[in-house]
C-alpha cells in the first residue's frame, strides 16, 4: 500500500504484508485501480499538505531518492511517517516542498530523479525526529516522525492534530479523507508494473496533481484479524487506525506515506492519522493502516515544546475556496455489470468436493472465470458469450460444466483439489472476447508460478487494450470517467480438509 519510491532497501516500500502469494495477488491485481480510486483535489482544499523528499548518499556515487507526504501542524513543523526518514547512518538531505511550488508534480518528480531541484523550490529540514521506538523492522511500530524546517513555511496553513482520543473522529463509521501525490497504481521503485513486468511511463502511475480519496474507518480488531490471517508481521493495535472499503479499489499507495488522514467535526478538520503501511495498494479485503495521531500526543507535544505555543489548541483554518471549480470526476466503477459469485452451500468448502457456484450479471458480454485454490495452481475455468434476458436485471449465468465432472448439470462447478487453506475466484465480463485458449473441454491448469504469472500478465495487457482508461484531468478541465470496458468481481472462499 504505502511506501517511499527509492533505490535503497532501508527506504523501500513497506507494502508487503508477509506471506502473500504472487499468483493470488496477480489475479486480484487484474482489477484497474486509480491516492488510488480517488480524484483530483480542488485547489486550496488541503492547505497543510506538503511534499517531503530526501536525497540519500549511498556507496560510491549512487544516490537514493525518496518522496513522501507530510502535513504542516505548526509554522515550522511537519508531521510525517518515521519510515520516510533515511536511516541515521546514511548521509542525507531532507526538504519540504509546499503546494504553491508544485505547478506540475510530474516535473517535480523528474527534477528529483535527476538531482536538479533548485534550492529556492524547497525549505530545508534542519531537525528530524523519528519516534525513538521506531526500528526499521517488519513490525511497523511507532511509524511517526516530526520535521522542523529552517524557517516558517510561508504558504501552508496548519492542520490541527488530534491530541486526545475522540471516538467521534476515530471510530467506524467515520468517513476520513487521505491526500497525496502517491502512485495511482502499484509499481516497483523503478517504475515497472509488478504483474506484466512492463516498464511504465511516469504519467501512467504518478499523478500530476494532488489527489484525494474518502474512506470509511475500519475497526482495529477487524483489521488486525485480516492481516494476521494473511501472515502479516506488522503490529496493528490501539496505536493504529485502519481505513478502506471491502471491495478494494480505493487506497493510498507508494509515495503517499507520511501524508495526512483527516476527519471533520463541528470545529473543523483534524488530523487523525498518518499514512503508514498495508498489503499492496487497494487490494480487496485489506484496509490501509495509519499511525493514530492521538496515541502519540505526549511525544508530539514534548518534541515541539521548545517552540512556545507551536501547538496551541485552535481550530484549523477554513480551506481556501477554489474559484468556481468544476466538479471532480467520480471514481471508476469496476463492476458496472453487477457481477456476483456465490457458492451453493456457503463460502467454506471441503477438499475433494465438486462444488456448484452461481454467477449473476446485469449485462451481456464475454464471461471469463478464473480460480486459484490453496494448492496455488492457477486455473482458467470458463469463457463464453453470455446474453441476458433483460439488461439491468440480475440474471443467473448457466454454463455447461466439464463433461468428466458434471455430465448432466448446466450450472458451473469447480473441483476442489485441496489442500486446506484459502482460495480466490474471479469473474470478468468483457465487451470483447479475451484470448485464453479453448476451455470447452474443461479448465486449463497452469502447473508453475511462472506460467501463471505470464498468463495473468497477458490477460492484463488484453484488458487494457479493450478501451481507454480515464483520460488525463486537471482542476481546470476535469473529465468524466470513460465507461469501463469490463467488469470484475473477486470471491474468496475457505477450503477445509
**Residues annotated as catalytic (active site), given as ranges:** 83, 143, 257
User: Do 226 and 185 form a contact (C-beta atoms < 8 A)?
Assistant: no
Evaluate whether 211 touches 49 at the Cβ level (below 8 Å). Answer: no
Please answer whether residues 37 and 83 qualify as being in contact, where contact means their C-beta atoms are separated by less than 8 angstroms. no
User: How does 173-204 read in b/e, with b if 16+ C-beta sit within 10 Å?
Assistant: ebebbbbbbbbbbbbebebebbbbeeebeeee
What is the grid cell recorded at 150? Answer: 529552517
Annotate the chain with three-state secondary structure: CCECCCCCHHHCCCCCCCCCCHHHHHHHCCCCCCCECCEECCCCCCCCEEEEEEEEECCCCCEEEEEEEEEEEECCEEEECHHHCCCCCCCEEEEEEEHHHCCCHHHHHHHHHHCCCCHHHCEEEEEEEECCCCCCCCCCCCCCEEEEECCCCCCCCCCEECCCCCHHHHCCCCEEEEEECCCCCCCCCCCECCCCCCECCHHHCCCCCCEEEEEEEECHHHHHHHHHHCCCCCCCCCCEEEECCCCCCCECCECCCCCEEEEEECCEEEEEEEEEECCCCCCCCCCEEEEEHHHHHHHHHHHCCCCCCCCCCCCCCCCCCCCCCCCCCCCCCCCCCCCEEEECCCCEEECCCEEEEEEEECCCEEEEEEEECCCCCEEEEEEEEECCCCCCCCEEECCCCCCCCCCCCCCCEEECCCCCEEEEEEEEEECCCCCCCCCCCCCEEECCHHHHHHHHHHHHHHHHHCCCCCCCCCCCCCCCCCCCCEEEEEEEEEEEC
Amino acid at each position: 500500500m504505502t511506501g517511499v519510491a527509492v533505490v535503497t532497501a532501508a527506504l523501500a516500500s513497506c507494502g508487503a504484508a508477509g506471506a502473500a502469494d504472487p499468483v493470488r495477488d496477480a489475479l486480484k491485481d487484474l482489477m484497474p485501480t486509480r491516492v488510488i480510486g480517488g480524484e483530483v483535489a480542488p485547489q486550496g482544499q488541503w492547505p497543510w499538505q506538503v511534499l517531503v523528499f530526501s536525497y540519500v548518499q549511498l556507496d560510491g556515487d549512487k544516490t537514493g531518492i525518496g518522496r513522501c507526504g507530510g502535513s504542516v501542524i505548526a509554522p515550522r513543523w511537519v508531521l510525517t511517517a518515521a519510515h520516510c526518514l533515511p536511516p541515521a547512518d546514511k548521509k542525507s538531505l531532507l526538504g519540504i516542498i509546499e503546494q504553491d511550488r508544485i505547478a506540475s508534480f510530474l516535473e517535480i518528480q523528474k527534477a528529483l530523479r535527476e538531482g536538479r531541484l533548485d534550492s529556492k523550490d524547497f525549505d530545508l529540514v534542519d531537525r528530524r525526529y523519528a519516534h525513538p521506538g521506531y526500528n526499521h523492522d517488519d513490525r511497523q511500530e511507532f511509524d511517526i516522525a516530526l520535521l522542523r524546517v529552517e524557517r516558517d513555511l510561508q504558504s501552508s496553513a496548519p492542520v490541527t492534530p488530534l491530541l486526545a482520543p475522540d471516538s467521534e473522529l476515530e471510530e467506524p463509521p467515520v468517513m476520513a479523507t487521505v491526500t497525496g501525490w502517491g502512485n495511482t497504481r502499484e509499481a516497483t521503485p523503478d517504475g515497472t508494473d509488478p504483474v506484466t513486468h512492463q516498464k511504465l511511463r511516469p504519467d501512467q502511475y504518478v499523478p500530476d496533481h494532488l489527489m484525494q480519496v474518502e474512506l470509511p474507518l475500519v475497526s482495529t480488531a477487524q483489521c488486525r484479524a485480516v492481516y494476521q490471517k494473511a501472515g502479516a508481521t506488522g503490529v496493528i493495535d490501539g496505536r493504529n487506525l485502519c481505513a478502506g472499503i471491502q471491495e478494494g479499489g480505493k487506497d493510498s499507495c507508494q509515495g503517499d506515506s507520511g501524508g495526512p488522514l483527516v476527519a471533520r467535526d463541528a470545529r473543523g478538520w483534524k488530523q487523525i492519522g498518518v499514512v503508514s503501511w498495508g498489503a499492496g495498494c487497494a487490494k480487496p479485503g485489506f484496509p490501509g493502516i495509519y499511525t493514530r495521531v492521538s496515541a502519540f500526543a505526549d511525544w508530539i507535544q514534548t518534541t515541539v515544546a521548545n517552540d512556545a505555543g507551536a501547538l496551541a489548541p485552535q481550530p484549523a483554518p477554513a480551506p481556501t475556496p477554489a474559484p468556481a471549480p468544476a466538479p471532480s470526476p467520480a471514481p471508476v466503477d469496476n463492476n458496472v455489470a453487477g457481477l456476483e459469485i456465490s457458492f451453493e452451500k456457503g463460502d467454506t468448502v471441503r477438499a475433494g468436493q465438486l462444488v456448484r457456484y452461481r454467477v449473476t450479471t446485469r449485462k451481456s458480454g464475454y464471461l471469463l472465470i478464473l480460480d486459484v485454490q490453496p494448492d496455488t495452481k492457477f486455473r482458467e475455468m470458463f469463457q463464453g458469450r453470455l446474453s441476458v434476458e433483460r439488461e439491468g436485471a440480475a440474471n443467473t449465468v448457466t454454463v455447461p460444466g466439464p463433461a468428466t465432472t458434471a455430465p448432466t448439470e448446466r450450472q458451473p462447478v469447480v473441483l476442489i483439489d485441496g489442500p486446506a487453506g484459502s482460495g480466490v475466484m474471479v469473474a470478468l465480463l468483457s465487451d470483447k472476447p479475451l484470448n485464453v485458449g479453448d476451455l470447452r473441454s474443461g479448465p486449463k491448469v497452469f502447473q508453475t508460478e511462472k506460467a501463471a504469472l505470464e498468463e495473468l500478465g497477458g490477460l492484463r495487457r488484453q484488458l487494457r487494450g479493450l478501451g481507454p482508461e480515464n483520460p488525463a484531468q486537471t482542476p481546470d478541465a476535469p473529465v468524466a470517467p470513460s465507461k469501463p470496458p469490463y467488469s470484475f468481481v473477486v470471491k474468496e472462499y475457505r477450503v477445509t480438509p
